A and B are shown apart, each in its own frame.
Chain A
Amino acid sequence: MWWYVAKRLLQAIPVFLGATLIIFFLTKLRPGDPILGLIGNKPVSPEVREALRDQFHLNDFIGLQWLYFLKDVVTFNPDFVGLDGQPVFQKIGNALPVTGTLALLALAMDAVIGIVVGTIAGLRRNGWFDSVTLVISLILLSIPIFVVGFVLQFLFGVKWGIFAATVPVDWNVTDLLLPAFVLAIANIATTTRLTRTSVANNMSADHVRTARAKGLSGGVVIRNHVLRNSLVPVVTYIGINLGSLMAGAIITEGIFNVQGIGNLAFGAVSRGDTPLTVSVVSVMVMLYVFMSLIVDLLYAVLDPRIRYV
C-alpha cells in the first residue's frame, strides 16, 4: 500500500505544477502595473519602483517568476509577501482555521443528515418518505446557495436572533453552525440521493438474500449486509467534496462575513494580487490531492477487494 501512496504522491506533482502554472499565467495576463496597486496608486520614484520590481522578480522571464514562486510555496517561506507587502502564508494561516472548521462542519452535517435520511428513504423505496425526500432534495439542489443563505440569515439571524447574523473575527464553533449548514445544503441533497440509490440497490443484492436465508433477522441483515456495502460509494463522494466545500465557502463567507479563505481568495483576485491568488489556489489544490488520496485509502479500508499496488 505504501507503494500506492508513493505513486499517488508522485502523480500529484504534475497536477500541482500544472494547476499553479495555469493560475499563475492567467493572473499575469492581467493588465495594469502591480506596483501601483501595491502602494495605493501614489506616484513613486523610479528607484523605489525598480527596487520593488526586483523584489517581486517582476523583471524576470515569466517562467522564472513561476519557479521563484514555486520555491516560496513549497518551502512555505514566511517572508514570501503578497502585493500588499504582507506575508502570504501568515494570511492563509490566519484564514485557514475558520474555513477549515466551516468546511468540516459542513462535511459532518452532509454525512450525518445525508446518510441517515438517504438510508431511510432507500429502505422504504417508493414509500411516502422516499417521495417527500426526493422532492425536497431536488428543490434544495435548485435554489442558489446565496438565496438560501440570505433567507436563513434573515430568519435565524435577524428575525429570531437564534444565531449571530454575521461571524465575528473572534469566532467560535456555534457562530459557524448556520453558515456551515448553508454551505452543506446542496451536498446534503446529493448525498441523500446517492445513499438512497445505493441502499435500494443493495437491498435486492444476492448476498442480502443469502443472509436472509441464513435466518438473520431483518435488522441484522440491514445493519451488517446493507448499510456498510451501501456506504462505500457514499463515503467517496462525501470525502472528495471537502475541496469543493472550501471553494463554495467563497459565497457563504461573503454572506456571513466570515474572514476565511474564500474571502481572502476573492479579495486577492479582485486586487490582482498574483502571489496571494496563486498561493490560495495552490493550497486548495494540495488539499484536493490530499483528500482524494485519503478517500482512496479509505475506500481500501471499507472494501477489502481493493488492494493498491
Chain B
Amino acid sequence: MTETPLLEIKDLRVGFRTGKKKVLTAVDGASLSIYPGQTIAIVGESGSGKSTLAHSVIDLLPGSGHVMGGEILFEGRDISQVDRKAVLALRGSSIGLVPQDPMSNLNPLWKVGRQIKEALVANGVASGDAADKRVVELLEEAGLPDAERRARQYPHEFSGGMRQRALIAMGLAARPKLLIADEPTSALDVTVQKQILDHLDQLTDTLGVAVMLITHDLGLAAERADHLVVMYRGRVVESGPARDILQHPEHPYTKRLVSNAPSLASQRLSSVRAREEVREQAVQTAAEIAEEIAHSDTEFGEGRKDVIVVENLTKIFTLRGAKPWQKVDFAAVDDVSFRLRRGTTTAIVGESGSGKSTVARMVLDLLPPTSGNVIFDGRNIRELTSKAERLKLRRQMQPVFQNPYASLDPLYSIYQSIEEPLQLHGVGTKKEREAKVRDLLDKVSLPTTVMSRYPGELSGGQRQRVAIARALALDPEVVICDEAVSALDVLVQAQILELLNDLQAELGLSYLFITHDLAVVRQIADDVLVMQDGKVVEAAPVSEVFDNPQKDYTRKLLDAIPGATIELGA
C-alpha cells in the first residue's frame, strides 16, 4: 500500500502557560495518523488532553495554549509551523469542526442559514443566491426536515439535536477532507445521539471525509471508528484497530476502561450476577429494619414491604399562552404509578422532558402533585399536617442530585454540609455529631482530612460522595438519586455506582434511581420504569426490559446504548 496519511501527528506537545514561567503540559508526545476517508476515535476522560489535541490541529487552542514541540503534518505539510494566513486557509475548507455543545456553539443573534452561508462565502464555495440555495441543500443533507424554513430561523428555535445537525452542515459546508468531531453528541439525548451519529457516519462515508472523533465513551468510539487512540494524562497509552483493543486491551488504563464503561458493562452477565448478590443482602437487612419499625411507636411508618407506593401521580404546569389571558396546560407527569420494594432499586429511565425528575421532586415532597398520592411506608405524605411528622418523613427519604457542582453549598465546608442535617434535627451533641460525620466520610471512602475543605476544591466524583454522605447522615430508608452519576467520567461513574451498591447491601437502603442512561441501570437497578412525555411506557424487572423489551420506545433506548453490538473478550 502506498497510501499517505491525510493527517499525521508526530510527538506533539501542547502546553498552557499558568504563571510567569510555569507551563502545564496538556498533551505530551502524542502521535497518530489518519488516512483519507477514515474514521478514527480519540478516547479519554476529561483532562486527558483529547480536546486540546484536536484543537491544536486547527490552531484554535484557548487562552495561553501553544504547541511546544512535534509536528502536525496535513497532507505532508507541517501546519504547526506555518503562518496564521495559511492556517486560516485550511480552516473550513480543508479541516472542518463539529463542536461539543450545540447550545453554545451557534451565534444566538444570527439566523442559522446565515451562519452556514458565512462558511460558504468565506471559503469561496458560493456566494449570493447560489449560497442561499446551497445552505438549504446542506441542511437537508444533514437530515434537517423542512430545511428551507429552518434556515430562516434562529438557533433558539431549534432543539439540541437540530442545532447539532446545523453544526454538522456547517462543518461539512466547504467539503473539508478532515472533520474533527469533538464529543459531538454528548450533550444530547441517547436516541438523538444515535440518529445523529448514524447520519454523520453515512454522510462522511458518501463524501469520503476523514473523521477524527473525540469521545469519552469507549463503546461509542469502538462502534464508530476503525482505529482507536486511547489517551490518559496527556499521553497516548494505547492505539490500534478498534476491535482488537476492545477485545484484547493491554495497557492497564485501557483494561480499566473496557471493564468499567457502563455502555460495555451493561451487556456483561457478571454485572447482573453482582447486582443479584447486592439485592439479596440488601433485602435481608431491610427486612430486619422493617421488623423493628413495625414494632416501634416512635418510628415513622409501618414497616411495609413496599416502602414507597406512588399512585396515579400527575403534575400539570400551567404555562402562559400567546395572549395574556391565555393559559396552556402542560402535563409534565401523567398518571404515574409504581412501587419501590424495600431494599431494592427502582430505576426511572427517560430522556429530557420525560418527566422523570418531576416525579422525583414530587416523591421528595419538594413539589406538590396536581393529583395522585405518594405513600411512604403506609403514610400518605399529603396527609401529613404537623411539622414534626413532616420532619420525620424528611429523615427517611434523602436526595442525591445530578449536578455535583450545584448540590453542595459552595460556602459550606464539607464538615458543615454533612453536619447540617444532624444539626437541623437536633441529633446528638457537637462531639457525637463530629464522630458521625467522620463515620459517614469513612462510609463513602473519603479521608477525614476533607472535612475542613470546600466543595470547590473537590472533584465532581468526590462532591457526589459528600452528597451521598449528607444524604445518609439521618439514616434514611430511601435515597432518591436524580441523575446522580450522569455528570461524571465513566470510571468515576462506575466507582460511585459500586459505592451505592455497597451501601445498599450494608444499610438495607432502597433507591429510586432517576437516569437518562439505560446503560447504568443494569448495574444498580432491579425494576425499571421507562418514561416518555410524562407517561410510563413500560414497567418491568431489569432483566425483562433488557432481554425482552415490549415497547418500541424501550427497544429504541436499548439500541442507542453505544457499543452494544460489539462482542467483547473476557
Contact = CB atoms under 8 A, between A and B. Distances in A.
Nearest to A229: B109
Nearest to B154: A304
A210 B92 contact: no
A206 B102 CA distance: 10
A304 B108 contact: yes
A216 B122 contact: yes
B273 interface: no
B118 A211 contact: yes
B88 interface: yes
B154 A305 contact: yes
A89 B154 CA distance: 47
A254 B97 CA distance: 60
Interface stretch (A92-100, A217-225, A263-271): A217-225
Interface in B453-498: none
B382 interface: no
Contacts of B555: none
Interface in A256-296: none
Nearest to A204: B62
Nearest to A228: B109
A50 interface: no
Given A209-B99, A305-B154, A215 B106 contact: no
Contacts of B174: 215
A305 B156 contact: yes
Interface in B308-326: 320-324
Contact of A205 (B89, B104, B122, B167): B104
Contact of A215 (B105, B122, B320, B321): B122
**Interface secondary structure of A, over-half rule:** helix
Nearest to A206: B104
A71 interface: no
A213 B91 contact: yes
A42 interface: no
A225 to B, nearest CB: 5
A215 B108 contact: no
Contact of A206 (B89, B91, B101, B154): B101
Contacts of B282: none
Contacts of B79: none
B266 interface: no
Nearest to B326: A309
A23 to B, nearest CB: 31
Contacts of B323: 3, 309
Most buried by B among A209, A210, A214: A214
Contacts of B89: 215
B81 interface: no
Nearest to A202: B107
Contacts of B412: none
Interface string B34-70: 0000000000000000000000001010110000000
B118 A224 contact: yes
Given A302-B109, A303-B108, A304-B108, A210 B97 contact: yes
A7 interface: yes
A28 interface: no
A207 B104 contact: yes
A212 interface: yes
Contact of B122 (A204, A208, A220, A302): A220
A92 to B, nearest CB: 35
Interface string A115-134: 00000000000000000000
A205 B99 CA distance: 12
Most buried by B among A215, A216, A220, A302: A215
Interface in B58-116: 58, 60, 62-63, 88-93, 96-97, 99, 101, 104-110, 115
Interface of A: 3, 7, 204-217, 220, 224-225, 228-229, 232, 302-305, 309
13 contacts: A207-B105, A209-B105, A210-B105, A210-B106, A214-B122, A215-B90, A215-B93, A224-B107, A225-B107, A303-B109, A304-B109, A304-B156, A305-B108
Which 9 A-B pairs give the minimum distances between C-beta atoms? A215-B92, A213-B97, A214-B119, A206-B104, A215-B91, A304-B154, A207-B107, A305-B156, A210-B105
